[in-house]
Chain A
Amino acid sequence: MNAEPLIKLEDVTKAYPGVEEPAVKELNLAVNPGEILVLVGPSGCGKSTTLRLINRMIEPTGGRIIYEGQDVTKGDPNELRRRIGYVIQQIGLFPHRTIAENIATVPKLLKWPKDKINARVDELLEVVSMDPSIYRDRYPSELSGGQAQRVGVARALGADPDVLLMDEPFGAIDPITRDRLQNEFLRLQGELKKTIVFVTHDIDEAVKMGDRIAILREQSEIAQLDTPEHILTDPADEFVENFLGSGAILKTLTLRRVKDIELSPLVTLKEPFQRDQALREMSDANTNVAVLLDRNDHPTRWIDEKALNRSSSLDRAGRPITVQLQPEDTLQDALSAMLTSAAGMAVVVDARGHYLGGCTVESLAGLLIQTGQESADS
């Protein structure tokens, strides 16, 4: 990336009063426009402190922070914060304000006209996949954790800031919902192209979310700053290696998405069909399972030869398909889907649930071996 960095930290130091060692020590960091830069490191290493320095939730005790070419420490911190979205793990929705009022917070502070605010609120609710007519007038206590975090993101996007600071935004959410929110957020970022500084302590999340990752140790010292691929395949030192944990190559699976690999065509069945022809197709394809599609092309069940031969109705034959992949899912998702699926493979559907193809263990294995060799070469 050759564009001028949007945010630059120059020798930034933060020492909390009464604490001898600074929490952040002489940190230099540049954030490029449109990228997700992930700060990842063990708890207490100074990630949150670093993030909070950028929007002046706390003031540095040394160094300079440049945003859009200007030293942020000059000027009104409130005015600065209205231009920077900020999402925290606890979300901090205003419990006495409706969802709409929550999202309208910054536009209201900026004194936008009322109808512009209303239109913006509805737009943002759509952006985070929540129906405005249902959620606009609800209160935060009526939301699930996942929905609340969506509203938190919508609120941070309120006045369309160029920069988002996110401090473990998905940290307090159950794994399944978190995974979904991460995927949604990445899709969203594909359209919005915000400049994002994203803090997490979870290396898997870092690899998944980051365009670049800064691995931090004590006092926010950068152990390695690079793309996820490079960090996973070429860790700078033992600290990074330990932090990545075992299976760094397996983690590269989170870097690629189902849409990046070629889908394998599976044998599909759809009522009404000819049993003999189905059996012939299966043997031609050298497989013993087929996917049953319903009238709308939604995959419903795995049907094997035995089930095909035995049962008269297919509605209850074979096994139900409980796990489906979408093109945006990572290959890591794909792997676990295959391992839990009854057929040892997974079906891929589009956003509306229509069948697209299949994903097999063989296709993944090939990819992994290739990655392993590349990393050994470098």
Chain B
Amino acid sequence: MSTAVAITAEDAEKKPTTRRWRADSLDLVVTPALFLILTTLLIVVWNYSDFDQTTTNILEPAKLWRQFQEQLFVAFWSTVLVVVIAVPVGILVTRENVPKIKDTLVSILGLGQALPAYGLIVLFFVWLGQGAVTVIIALATFALLPVLRNTIVGLEQVDKAVIEAGKGMGMTGPQRLAKIEMPLSVPVILAGIRTATVINVGMAALAFLIGGGGLGETINAGLKLNRPTAIFVGAVLVALVALAFDFIGGLAQRYLRPKGV
């Protein structure tokens, strides 16, 4: 039946193509702002505080640069390790025909995260000896949970009807995974990876404890020799690196989000 009312009802039903305001646009503004404030503070402190010989030694630019690189090295590889382990495991435990072990797995890793990262590093030190590799493995263990959990949640939040439709049209299991489930869980998985990255960048400051280097050395020296300026510079540098990575993560989340969702 065609009625005048019906036509307007259909029109009203049409969704306008509005651009949705996203909460994650906010941190693309807040993070750079924080970054700028901290950088300004750093420059002020660097230029206007009294550098005695000890402070100058601790904050020698070549040394800071080396520590910065070590920090990134540890953070980068621990994140890579987390991703190559947690994402496939997350995929595996959410498959239809795999026993439901995912809740148990998440609980166990939750225990791991309940330990202080400091304790975890020491534990792995006892087991694997000192060096950056030990730190990388310890941090990866610590940051595994957010990525695994987000992979599982990401895959499970995909509308079951969409997967059912794919199956009903004859897409194989791997095709459904690659073409439906993964693209639709990318935003959630990326959020987990972003969290893990920031954790790893920050926690890499503990690498110095077992000879893994990093900006933690500067903070530690400042603490031992009672040089607040050095402590401040070290801490702010760690924070700046973390903020930078968080920002990159935010950008990735925004631009790697599949179109249409």
Contact = CB atoms under 8 A, between A and B. Distances in A.
A181 to B, nearest CB: 11
Interface string A86-107: 1010111111111000000110
A220 interface: no
A145 B13 contact: yes
A363 interface: no
B165 A96 contact: no
Interface stretch (B2-10, B135-143, B241-249): B2-10
A146 B13 contact: yes
A81 B166 CA distance: 10
Interface in B81-123: none
A316 to B, nearest CB: 16
Interface residues of A, number: 51
Contact of B5 (A80, A141, A176): A176
A79 B261 CA distance: 30
A177 B261 contact: no
A287 interface: no
Contact of B171 (A90, A109, A143): A109
Given A92-B159, A96-B183, A96-B259, A86 B13 contact: no
Contacts of A106: 169-170
B161 interface: yes
A96 B137 CA distance: 36
A311 interface: no
A88 B183 contact: no
A78 B172 contact: yes
Given A92-B164, A106-B169, A109-B171, A146 B159 contact: no
A180 interface: yes
Contact of A57 (B159, B168, B258, B261): B168
Interface in A44-67: 55, 57
Nearest to A176: B6
Contact of A144 (B1, B15, B166, B167): B15
B191 to A, nearest CB: 17
B14 interface: yes
Interface string A126-154: 00000000000001111111110000100
Contacts of A145: 13
Given A95-B162, A109-B175, A323-B3, 10 more contacts: A78-B172, A91-B161, A96-B261, A97-B260, A141-B260, A143-B14, A144-B15, A174-B9, A325-B2, A329-B2
